[in-house]
């Protein structure tokens, strides 16, 4: 009996042991969605109507080259503006301008069109192969942040109020006036919340050769090299009209610019469903979780972004801890 | 009076007193018997005027009532005249329609010595109580008859009941784990090597109700799921309903796992200790007063010195431990009333100090406390009352570069339950009960000293059930039930009918059919790969509770006592499913079912399970195979198209063998399963990140779960040797998990930042050997 038992055990071992758990990693890249139209258009309230890019998805197993996936021209590329339930004027026609599509303001209509708040913009694209791509965005209300403050560690009282300038005329003077010491207090934006789904914070270290202000024990040398001077947050609800900036998003001393975007639904849906657009982690497939899934694009006939936002910003200078 | 006469006189008086006392005791017992017999007679007169034999069966040492004991009465005058019955869960048996006379009564059950007595049976009812002694051999061939008859009495489809001895014989890591052992059964699978979550018949882990001595355990895991919270040394029996479970249970869409701990021994002190490379355990039990007993068990990892030793400046290793404590007190009055008080507390603690400004500290665990009282009004009328609390909490604190972040959650369940069982006769039993529970859900999240979320809900629910268990004919048994439920969140009333039919076709073949309607209000939020920080939220008025309709058809074939073969087909229709919406903003202040989940999902699960088991002899074990499909559909996911959940497994095979030879026991298990589903990358696309003003290339995920990891397979082996140490029983064991060290795939990571690199496949556990020793003291 013992011999039979051990023989069965050995046979099973040999049988299953012969099956390797290694595989060609290229099998994990499945080119099922290559050639899909990709739109890249983002409108900012108060700024000129932007140029847009139209490309196609590429093979996941090949080197990505923008020139090869750019759509060179289309049969129709129109933007319609809606106000009070009616189209405002004639559709704005976009034309191919190497690598991007841009519009030429028609003479005698007031020059460049600046994106209007609380306004619906419709997009329609038809390729020569009669593929049709459509999308709609409704721009957020105009947005500004009147109070940028440094709170004490408990978040109860204001230690410092930062000087705020207009987003467009932003002078360098602001960095000298707004000096903050790294990790002292809590940086908070206080505003009257507009009716938008969420906000996203972008943070920019402007002095590209400045020193690190962080020096954690658990960092290796290569970890410092991975630190980016530009970062963004996940979408934040900011339901009480405040957003608090974490110090762990700041790695360098010197000038910083922080932008807060009041997002439209399309921008919000894309960022919340595509973690890599908000400084999120890598995509996982398998048993670790369900966060690797197709983002919400809100585009018919393709993927990408046709979204909008209203934005305000602050500048300050980060000094290392004494 | 001479001295001799005086002594004789004293002796006579003394003897007279003894005789008188014996008579009084006999009279007291007689009264008790008469009450019991009268009650039994009342029940019996419905069916027969012949003599009946009744009584209770209990463990001779602990006095614990023994169910599923096969009792056979053989008339000495005519051995062809024999009848039998099985004792019920309260140890009561009843053999009807006997010819008056002298019988040989045989009682047998797995794990106990077969007992034979001679009993005189008279009209209308005779009583004979049976005390059983534990068997040294766990698989005594004689016991199979009892087991077979006990199973025959069951009509339940998808029911597996395993005792500790059978479970302990299976290979494991370090020590026997009742939950992980269930993963070797057909239709049951794990998410990963480090998961003790149960994925049963296409359902998620939260669709299975886990009970410890009738009290729900909301997160039954230690070590991120590597171990379950149940100390195997204290477990008496594990009962698994894979589906179509009866009306006495409720609240989950899929199945039920009921862990029953041992009752304390009431005769003498007994100790047991176990040491392995992972944990140390101790169990003690003894007498408390003249009719009571106590039981205490403790288990703790002792990895800290090891972790500390391998921790260096370049290799940060966190500090980690878990422990659990179990306690139980049992008292039985002279009238047979039983009082049980039991408690459980378990905690996990992980601390990772990154530097003076940064650390991670995760703590989680369960606390259970319950007390029950059972009273037998008559042999046919049993009552049980239980008051219990179950708390699960996790406190997670993280600080990175002086920025603190904390997530704390707590679920508190306070329940009162009453069950009444009434035996109309040996063919029919009614059971009814009520369960009232009040819950407190708390979830708090702070970021950077800013309280982002303070969620608290206190719903309650009341369930009432009635169940009829009827032996309709010699060969047909029908169990029907209805469970009604009220849940305060959403102010909802629900009715859940259940049924099971068992039909014996002949001595070897049996057919079963079961089904029911099930609803689930509590939803688990977890990571599928491992468990920590899991939390439940109630489905409130913003969404509908999940609902399943199950139907199961089973066929059993037992050509002999040695072998059993079963085949079951199941189909489950699912509605109102929810999945966590990963796209919710992290600082959202309001939590409702609608904001937290993607709702209004539907789905189905279907499959066939085949099971062959050898139950007696030196070589025992089973082979199981499941062919299954599972699909889910959500309008917001996968473009509204159906998709397989990750745990959809087309083929699932398991083989388990235990070979006992003298003091040696060898065990082996082999599992094979279709690789789990995952979402592959299907294209690259480029966009300008609007916030960062950078042009970036992204990976486009394909259809949800449209690809498969490589097939999963693994073999575990164990060797155990019994020996004596200081005159007490002891054993040492060597166990090897994943003996051929196949690195099964766990998950795939697509590098979305550096597209020049290929995807990375993360693997599960390699070969893990473990040593252990266990001994009585």
Closest by Cβ to B713, choosing from A19, A247, A305: A19
Instruction: Please report whether residue B207 resides in a domain.
Output: no
Between residues B419 and A291, which one has the greater pLDDT?
B419
Question: Considering CB atoms only, which of B657, B717, B749 is closest to A284?
Answer: B749
- As a whole number, mean pLDDT of residues B563-569 equals 94
Is residue B185 situated within a structural domain? no
A267 and B CB contact within 8 Å: yes
Q: Where are the beta strands (DSSP E) in chain A?
A: 37-44, 53-56, 76-83, 86-87, 92-97, 100-103, 120-126, 132-138, 147-151, 158-161, 179-181, 186-190, 199-205, 230-232, 242-245, 254-263, 283-286, 303-319
The verdict on a CB contact (< 8 Å) between B403 and A29 is no
pLDDT reported for residue B30 = 34
Residues B501, B490 contacting (CB under 8 angstroms) = no
Question: What residues of chain A, 2 to 31, have a C-beta less than 8 Å from chain B?
Answer: 2, 5, 8-9, 12-13, 16-17, 19, 21, 23, 25-26, 28-31
Chain A residues whose beta carbon lies within 8 Å of the beta carbon of residue B354: 216-218
Residues of B in Cβ contact (< 8 Å) with A278: 691
- Number of domains chain B contains: 2
Q: Is B579 in Cβ contact with A290 (below 8 Å)?
A: yes
A51 pLDDT band, cuts 50/70/90, is very high
Record: contact A287-B746, CB cut-off 8 A: yes
Residue B268: C-alpha distances to residues A304, B46, B140, B288, B416 (Å): 74, 43, 26, 10, 33
Distance CA A83, CA A141 (A): 14
What's the mean per-residue pLDDT of chain B?
83
Centroid of chain to Cα B395: 27
Question: Which residues of chain A make contact with B763, given a CB cutoff of 8 A?
Answer: 21
| A129/B contact by beta carbon, under 8 A | no
Please name the residues in contact with A283: beta carbons below 8 A apart, sequence gap of 6 or more: A275, A276, A291, A292, B681, B699, B701, B749, B750, B752
Looking at the DSSP bridge assignments, the partners of residue B400 are B403
- B752–A294 C-beta distance less than 8 A: no
Least confident window among A59-73, B34-48, B60-74, B204-218: B34-48
Report residue B9's pLDDT band, with 50, 70 and 90 as the boundaries.
Answer: very low
CB neighbours of A49 closer than 8 A, spacing ≥ 6?
Answer: A43, A79, A92, A103, A112, A113, A114, A115
Handedness of CA B223, B226, B228, B231 (dihedral sign): negative
Measured between beta carbons, which residues in chain A are less than 8 angstroms from residue B619? 1, 5
Report pLDDT digits (tens) over B100-119. 888 889 888 766 777 888 88
Q: Do B292 and B409 lie in a common domain?
A: yes
Number of neighbours of residue B688 by Cβ within 10 angstroms: 17
Identify which of A13, A40, A261 has the shortest CB distance to residue B740.
A13
Nearest one of B695, B704, B710, B697 to B747, comparing CA atoms: B710
Q: Using the beta-carbon criterion (under 8 Å), do B589 and A237 form an inter-chain contact?
A: yes
Of the residues B105, B121, B152, which one is the last residue of a structural domain? B152
Place of tokens 């290229």: A26
Identify the three-state secondary structure at position B308.
Answer: helix
In the block, residue with structure tokens 């969605």: A33
CB atoms within 10 A of CB A77: 25
Q: Are residues B266 and B142 in the same domain?
A: no
For testing contact with chain A, the best of B204, B649, B691, B695 (most A CBs within 10 A): B691
Q: Which of A23, A272, A307 sits opposite B585 (nearest CB)?
A: A272
Does residue B710 lie within any of the structural domains? Answer: yes
Give A218→chain B minimum CA distance, Å: 6
Specify whether the CB–CB gap between B561 and B616 falls below 8 A: yes
Place of tokens 């979204």: A307
- Give the whole-angstrom CA distance, residue B510 versus residue B556: 5
Residues B148 and B259 in one domain: no
Exposed, middle or buried, B428 (CB in 10 Å: 0-12/13-18/19+)? middle
B43 pLDDT tier (thresholds 50, 70, 90)? very low
A153 touches chain B (CB under 8 A): yes
pLDDT higher at A285 or B43: A285
Distances (CA, A) of B439 to B207, B254, B402, B462: 18, 21, 35, 11
What SS3 state is found at B743? coil
Of A64-73, A210-219, B115-124, the range with the lowest mean pLDDT is A210-219
Q: In terms of Cα–Cα distance, which of B130, B138, B145, B82 is closest to B112? A: B138
Q: Residue B422 pLDDT > 90, yes or no?
A: no
Residue indicated by tokens 């039994």: B40
CATH classification of the domain holding B148: 2.60.40.1120
Query: Of A36-50, A220-234, B387-401, which has the strongest mean pLDDT?
Result: A36-50
Flag if B758 and A230 touch (Cβ within 8 Å): no
- Considering only CB atoms, B683 lies closest to which of A31, A63, A237, namely A31
Q: Which two tokens stand for residue A67?
A: 């020139």
B555 vs B570: CA distance, rounded Å = 12
State which residues form the domain around B615. 255-776
pLDDT at B46: 36
CATH of the domain at B453: 2.40.170.20
Task: Say which of A36, A259, A276 has its CB closest to residue B752.
Answer: A276
Asked if pLDDT for residue B615 goes beyond 90, the answer is no
pLDDT band at A139 (very low <50, low <70, confident <90, very high): very high
Residues of A in contact with B680 (CB under 8 A): 28-30, 285
Spell out the domains of chain A, with CATH numbers in brackets. Answer: 37-138 (2.60.40.10), 147-296+308-319 (no CATH)
Contacts of A226 (CB under 8 A, 6+ apart): none
Does residue B179 form part of some domain? no
Residues of B in contact with A238 (CB under 8 A): 587
CB atoms within 10 A of CB B726: 8
Residues B595 and B741 in one domain: yes
Of A284 and B195, the one with more pLDDT: B195
Query: Of A25, A60, A214, which has the smallest distance from its Cβ to B401's Cβ?
Result: A214
Residue A13, phi then psi, degrees to nearest 5: -60, -50
Residues B437 and B325 in one domain: yes
User: Domain check: are B272 and B404 in the same one?
Assistant: yes
Q: How many CB atoms lie within 10 A of CB B244?
A: 30
Does the distance separating the beta carbons of A290 and B528 come in below 8 Å? Answer: yes
pTM for this model (two decimals): 0.79
Q: Which of B152, B182, B206 is the last residue of a domain?
A: B152
Q: Are residues A282 and B751, on separate chains, in Cβ contact within 8 Å?
A: yes
Average pLDDT of span B365-371: 95
Tell me whether B727 touches chain A (CB under 8 Å): no
Quick one: pLDDT at residue A6? 61
Task: Check CB contact of B525 with chain A, cutoff 8 Å.
Answer: no
Q: How confident is the model at residue A16 (pLDDT cuts 50, 70, 90)?
A: low
pLDDT tier at B98, thresholds 50, 70, 90: confident
- Tell me how close the Cα of A108 comes to any Cα of chain B, in angstroms: 31
Residue bearing tokens 């270290």 = A205
The number of C-alpha atoms within 13 Å of B270 and in the hemisphere containing its C-beta is 18
Identify the residue with better confidence: A196 or B11.
A196
Chain B partners within 8 Å of A19 (Cβ): 711, 713, 742
> B27 vs B175, which has greater pLDDT?
B175
pLDDT at site B17? 38
Question: Which of A17-26, B138-147, B222-231 has the least mean pLDDT?
Answer: B138-147
- Kindly state whether A309 is in contact with chain B, defined as any CB-CB distance less than 8 angstroms: yes
The count of other CB atoms within 10 Å of the CB of residue B122 is 11
Q: What was the pLDDT predicted at B509?
A: 92
Nearest by Cα to B736 from B673, B671, B669: B669
ipTM of the complex: 0.89
CB of A163 within 8 Å of a chain B CB? The answer is: no
Torsions phi, psi for B639 (to 5 deg): 65, 20
In a domain, B131, yes or no: yes
Sort B434 into a burial class: Cβ within 10 Å, 0-12 / 13-18 / 19+: middle
B65 contacts B91 by C-beta, under 8 angstroms: yes
State yes or no: pLDDT of B48 exceeds 50. Answer: no
What band does A136 get if pLDDT is binned at 50, 70 and 90? very high
Q: Residue B229 domain-assigned?
A: no
Tokens of B537: 């939220």
Higher pLDDT, B55 or B277: B55
Q: pLDDT by residue (tens digit) across B426-483?
A: 788 899 999 999 999 998 888 877 777 788 899 999 999 999 988 888 889 999 999 9
Integer angstrom CA distances of residue B750 from A22, A296, B530, B537, B756: 17, 19, 20, 31, 11
A234-267 per-position pLDDT tens digit: 889 888 899 988 888 888 999 999 999 999 999 9
Q: Which chain B residues are Cβ-neighbours of A290 within 8 angstroms?
A: 528, 579-580, 582, 646
Query: pLDDT (tens digit, 9 = 90+) per residue, A263-280?
Result: 999 999 999 888 777 765
Q: What is the pLDDT of residue B380?
A: 66
Residue B166 lies in a domain: no
Closest B-chain CA to A302: B685
Closest chain A residue to the Cα of B739, Cα to Cα: A13
Closest CA to B395 of B384, B385, B404: B404
Percent of chain A with pLDDT over 90: 40
pLDDT at B755: 65
Higher pLDDT, B306 or B179: B179
Minimum-distance CB partner of A291 among B582, B707, B759: B582
Domain termination residue (choose one: B123, B152, B181): B152
Is the previous residue joined to B603 through a cis bond, with omega within 30 degrees of 0?
no
* Interface list for A 204-263 with B (CB within 8 A): 214, 216-218, 230-232, 234-240, 242, 244, 246-248, 259, 261
pLDDT tens for residues B650-659? 999 999 999 9
In a domain, B591, yes or no: yes
The token pair that represents A73 in the structure block: 């021209």
């Amino acid at each position: 009996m013992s011999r039979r038992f051990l023989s069965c055990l050995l046979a099973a071992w040999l049988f299953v042991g012969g099956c390797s758990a290694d595989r060609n990693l290229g099998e994990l890249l499945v080119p099922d969605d290559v050639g899909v139209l990709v739109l890249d258009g983002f409108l900012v309230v108060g700024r000129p109507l932007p140029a847009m890019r139209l490309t196609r998805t590429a093979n996941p197993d090949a080197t990505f080259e923008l020139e090869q996936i750019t759509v060179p021209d289309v049969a129709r590329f129109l933007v319609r503006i809606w106000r009070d339930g009616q189209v405002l004027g004639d559709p704005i026609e976009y034309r191919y301008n190497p690598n991007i599509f841009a519009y030429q303001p028609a003479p005698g209509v007031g020059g460049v069109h600046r994106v209007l708040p609380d306004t619906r913009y419709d997009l329609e694209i038809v390729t020569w192969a009669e593929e049709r791509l459509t999308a709609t965005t409704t721009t957020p209300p105009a947005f500004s942040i009147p109070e940028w403050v440094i709170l004490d560690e408990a978040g109860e009282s204001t230690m410092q109020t930062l000087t705020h300038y207009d987003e467009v005329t932003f002078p360098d003077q602001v960095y000298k006036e707004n000096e903050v010491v790294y990790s002292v207090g809590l940086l908070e934006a206080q505003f009257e919340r507009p009716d938008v789904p969420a906000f996203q914070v972008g943070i920019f270290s402007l002095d590209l050769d400045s020193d690190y202000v962080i020096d954690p024990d658990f960092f290796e040398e290569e970890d410092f090299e991975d630190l980016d001077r530009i970062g963004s947050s996940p979408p934040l609800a900011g339901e009480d009209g405040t957003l608090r900036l974490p110090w762990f998003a700041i790695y360098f001393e010197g000038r910083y610019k922080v932008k807060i975007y009041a997002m439209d639904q399309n921008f919000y849906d894309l960022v919340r469903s595509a973690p890599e657009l908000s400084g999120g982690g890598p995509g996982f497939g398998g048993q670790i979780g369900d966060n690797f899934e197709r983002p919400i694009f809100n585009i018919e006939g393709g993927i990408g972004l046709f979204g909008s936002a209203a934005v305000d910003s602050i500048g300050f200078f980060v000094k290392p801890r004494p | 009076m001479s001295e001799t006469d005086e002594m004789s006189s004293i002796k006579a008086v003394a003897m007279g007193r003894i005789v008188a006392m014996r008579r009084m005791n006999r009279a007291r017992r007689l009264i008790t018997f008469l009450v019991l017999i009268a009650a039994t007679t009342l029940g019996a007169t419905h069916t027969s005027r012949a003599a009946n034999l009744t009584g209770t069966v209990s463990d001779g040492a602990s006095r614990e009532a023994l169910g599923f004991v096969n009792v056979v009465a053989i008339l000495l005058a005519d051995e062809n005249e024999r009848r039998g019955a099985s004792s019920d869960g309260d140890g009561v048996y009843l053999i009807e329609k006997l010819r008056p006379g002298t019988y040989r009564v045989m009682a047998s059950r797995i794990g106990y010595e077969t007992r034979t007595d001679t009993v005189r049976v008279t009209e209308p009812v005779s009583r004979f109580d049976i005390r059983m002694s534990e068997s040294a051999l766990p698989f005594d061939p004689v016991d199979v008859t009892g087991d077979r008859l006990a199973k025959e009495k069951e009509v339940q489809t998808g029911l597996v009941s395993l005792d500790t001895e059978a479970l302990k014989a299976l290979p494991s890591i370090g020590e026997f784990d009742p939950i992980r052992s269930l993963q070797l059964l057909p239709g049951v699978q794990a998410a990963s090597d480090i998961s003790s979550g149960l994925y049963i018949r296409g359902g998620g882990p939260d669709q299975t109700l886990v009970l410890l001595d009738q009290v729900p355990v909301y997160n039954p895991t230690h070590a991120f799921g590597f171990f379950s919270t149940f100390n195997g040394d204290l477990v008496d029996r594990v009962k698994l309903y894979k589906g179509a479970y009866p009306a006495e249970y409720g609240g989950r869409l899929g199945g039920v796992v009921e862990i029953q701990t041992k009752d304390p021994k009431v005769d003498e002190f007994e100790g047991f200790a176990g040491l392995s490379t992972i944990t140390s355990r101790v169990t003690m039990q003894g007498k408390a007063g003249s009719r009571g007993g106590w039981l205490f068990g403790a288990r703790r990892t002792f990895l800290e010195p090891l972790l500390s030793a391998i921790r260096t400046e370049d290799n940060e290793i966190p500090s980690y431990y878990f422990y659990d404590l179990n306690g139980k007190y049992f008292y039985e009055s002279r009238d047979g009333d039983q009082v049980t008080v039991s408690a459980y507390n378990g905690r996990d603690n992980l601390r990772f100090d990154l530097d003076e400004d940064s650390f991670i500290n995760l703590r989680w665990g369960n606390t259970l406390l319950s007390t029950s009282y059972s009273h037998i009004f008559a042999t046919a009328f049993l009552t049980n009352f239980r008051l219990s609390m179950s708390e699960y909490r996790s406190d997670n604190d993280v600080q990175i570069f002086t920025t603190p972040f904390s997530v704390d959650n707590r679920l508190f369940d306070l329940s009162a339950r009453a069950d009444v069982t009434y035996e109309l006769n040996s063919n029919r039993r009614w059971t009814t009960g009520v369960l009232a529970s009040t819950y407190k859900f708390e979830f708090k999240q702070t970021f950077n000293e800013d309280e982002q979320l303070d969620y608290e809900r206190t719903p309650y629910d009341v369930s009432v059930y009635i169940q009829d268990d009827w032996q309709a004919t010699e060969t047909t048994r029908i169990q029907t039930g209805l469970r009604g439920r009220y849940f305060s969140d959403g102010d909802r009333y629900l009715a859940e009918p259940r049924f099971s039919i068992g039909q014996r076709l002949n001595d070897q073949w049996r057919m079963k059919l079961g089904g029911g309607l099930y609803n689930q209000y509590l939803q688990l939020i977890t990571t599928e790969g491992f468990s920590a920080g899991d939390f439940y939220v109630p489905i409130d008025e913003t969404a509908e509770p999940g609902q399943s309709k199950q139907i199961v058809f089973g066929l059993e074939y037992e050509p002999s006592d040695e072998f059993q073969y079963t085949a079951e087909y199941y189909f489950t229709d699912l509605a109102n499913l929810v999945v966590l919406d990963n796209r919710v903003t992290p600082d959202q202040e309001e939590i409702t079912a609608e904001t937290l989940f993607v709702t209004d999902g539907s789905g189905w699960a279907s499959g066939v399970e085949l099971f062959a088991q050898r139950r007696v002899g030196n070589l025992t074990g089973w082979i199981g195979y499941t062919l299954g499909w599972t699909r889910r559909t959500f309008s917001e996911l996968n473009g509204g198209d159906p998709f397989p959940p990750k745990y959809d497994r087309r083929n699932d095979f398991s083989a388990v063998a235990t070979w006992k030879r003298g003091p040696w026991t060898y065990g082996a298990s082999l599992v094979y399963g279709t690789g789990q589903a995952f979402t592959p990358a299907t294209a690259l696309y480029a966009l300008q990140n609007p916030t960062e003003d950078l042009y970036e290339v992204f990976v486009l995920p394909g259809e949800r779960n449209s690809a498969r990891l490589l097939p999963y397979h693994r073999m575990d082996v164990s060797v155990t040797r019994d020996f004596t140490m200081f005159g007490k029983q002891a054993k040492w064991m060597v166990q090897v998990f994943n003996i051929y060290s196949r690195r099964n795939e766990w998950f795939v990571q697509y590098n979305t930042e550096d597209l020049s690199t290929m995807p990375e496949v993360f693997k599960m556990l390699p070969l893990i050997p473990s040593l252990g020793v266990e001994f009585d003291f």
